[in-house]
Amino acid sequence: MMSAEQRAQGRRVRERLLDLMFVRGRIEDVRPAPGRMRWIRVGGVPGLDWTPGQQVRVHVADITSARTWVSGAVRNALRTYSVWEYDASAGVLELCVMDHGEGGPGARWARAARPGQEVVFGRPEGAFGLRPGAAFHLFAGEETASVPFGAMLRATPPDAAVHGVIEVSGPADRLPLPRAGELTWRHRGGASAASSATLVAAVRDLDLPAEPGIAYVAGEARTVQAVSAHLVGDRGWPRGSVLVKPFWTPGKRGME
Ligand SMILES: Cc1cc2nc3c(=O)[nH]c(=O)nc-3n(C[C@H](O)[C@H](O)[C@H](O)COP(=O)(O)OP(=O)(O)OC[C@H]3O[C@@H](n4cnc5c(N)ncnc54)[C@H](O)[C@@H]3O)c2cc1C
């Protein structure tokens, strides 16, 4: 039988291990975002090394709870979310999560998120980010892609040329993106964002400079592939000028 002191010591060791391996913050605020999205503001996480476009891997189940391990939920407990905004000195990071109809562990976590709750996540990661010096920046994606696009557009120098298409279900689903007036918005109505012909057609219709820029293409995996195939195959862009980031696809649980 463990004494109270031994249990407390065990807890302190677990907490130290968690702090070594992960970042731990606390939800400060949960606000409705346009459409079916939700902003989740996490405080107490100063000094992270983050560049706009990067994401964090969130433990959407409580990994400190024995039940998470015993039930096996731990195997499906990580979901990746782009960072909408991060203030390193205030230690505040904001995510924006889609409440998609199928309701996996990520969507359920975001739905249940409440101020005061602890959030455990990995340090910011990923190579999806602005390539400075590009002739122009081209953004293409749907609602979930507009989360990293928000951070990236905020970081784009004012004199850098920006083009792009954001596909959303309807006008109420538009995130407040910086430089929104320079982007083309497309509404797909009730159609699925998976294998979306709407987004590819809208990118095809863009009047782009003759020379390639850098493209940032994110969202549903098959749509992302189709946009990339158009840029490389039809417009002759070098493959290396098209950065793709599949976020989700029908039938697949978590993409990373
Ligand atoms: C690098 C990266 C960044 C990401 N950034 C964001 C972000 O900023 N915001 C965000 O909301 N998501 C983002 N995602 C997607 C996120 O990681 C989850 O995949 C998503 O939240 C679904 O998780 P889930 O547990 O709810 O569903 P899962 O169990 O993973 O998936 C179950 C099923 O739900 C359906 N589904 C999943 N996502 C969607 C969707 N968006 N629309 C319609 N159907 C869907 C699919 O059919 C899927 O098979 C990102 C993914 C990656 C890889």
Q: What is the CATH number of the domain that holds 81?
A: 2.40.30.10
Q: Do 25 and 62 lie in a common domain?
A: yes
- Taking the CA of residue 126 as reference, the ligand 1 atom at the shortest distance is 1
Say yes or no: CB of residue 107 within 6 Å of ligand 1: yes
Q: Which helix (H) or strand (E) holds 5?
A: helix 4-21
The reported pLDDT for the residue numbered 68 is 82
The reported pLDDT for the residue numbered 76 is 82
CA neighbor of 228 nearest in space, from 189, 199, 188: 199
Q: Is residue 126 part of a domain?
A: no
For ligand 1, the distance from its centroid to the CA atom of residue 253, given in whole angstroms, is 8
Q: Do 97 and 37 lie in a common domain?
A: yes
The reported pLDDT for the residue numbered 114 is 98
Final residue before a domain boundary, out of 63, 93, 121 = 121
Smallest CA separation from ligand 1 atom 51, residue: 247
Smallest CA separation from ligand 1 atom 47, residue: 250
Q: Do 179 and 95 lie in a common domain?
A: no
The reported pLDDT for the residue numbered 112 is 96
The reported pLDDT for the residue numbered 6 is 84
For ligand 1, the distance from its centroid to the CA atom of residue 192, given in whole angstroms, is 14
Question: Do the beta carbons of residue 124 and residue 50 sit within 8 Å?
Answer: yes
pTM more than 0.75 = yes
Question: Do the beta carbons of residue 59 and residue 77 sit within 8 Å?
Answer: yes
Q: Do 195 and 86 lie in a common domain?
A: no
CA 180 to chain centre: 18
Say yes or no: CB of residue 54 within 6 Å of ligand 1: no
Smallest CA separation from ligand 1 atom 34, residue: 102
The reported pLDDT for the residue numbered 209 is 96
CA neighbor of 113 nearest in space, from 133, 96, 88, 125: 96
Smallest CA separation from ligand 1 atom 53, residue: 247
Q: Is residue 33 part of a domain?
A: yes
- What is the full per-residue pLDDT of the chain (256 aa) written as tens digits? 778 888 788 778 877 888 888 999 999 999 999 999 999 999 999 999 999 999 999 999 987 777 888 888 887 889 999 999 999 999 999 999 999 988 899 999 999 999 999 999 999 999 999 999 899 999 999 999 999 999 999 999 999 999 999 999 999 999 999 999 999 999 999 999 999 999 999 999 999 999 999 999 999 999 999 999 999 999 999 999 999 999 999 999 887 7
Q: Do 100 and 46 lie in a common domain?
A: yes
Non-local (6+) Cβ contacts of 153 within 8 A are: 139, 162, 177, 178, 179
Amino acid, res. 138? L
Question: Do the beta carbons of residue 37 and residue 110 sit within 8 Å?
Answer: no
Strand partners, 137: 162, 214
Question: Domains in the chain: how many in total?
Answer: 2
Say yes or no: CB of residue 80 within 6 Å of ligand 1: yes
The reported pLDDT for the residue numbered 60 is 95
Q: Which residue among 125, 144, 169, 256 is best mutated to probe the pocket of ligand 1, counting the most ligand atoms within 8 A of its Cβ? A: 144
Q: How far apart are CA 174 and CA 21, in angstroms?
A: 35
Q: Is residue 132 part of a domain?
A: no
The domain of 45 spans 4-121
Q: How far apart are CA 47 and CA 38, in angstroms?
A: 24
For ligand 1, the distance from its centroid to the CA atom of residue 254, given in whole angstroms, is 6
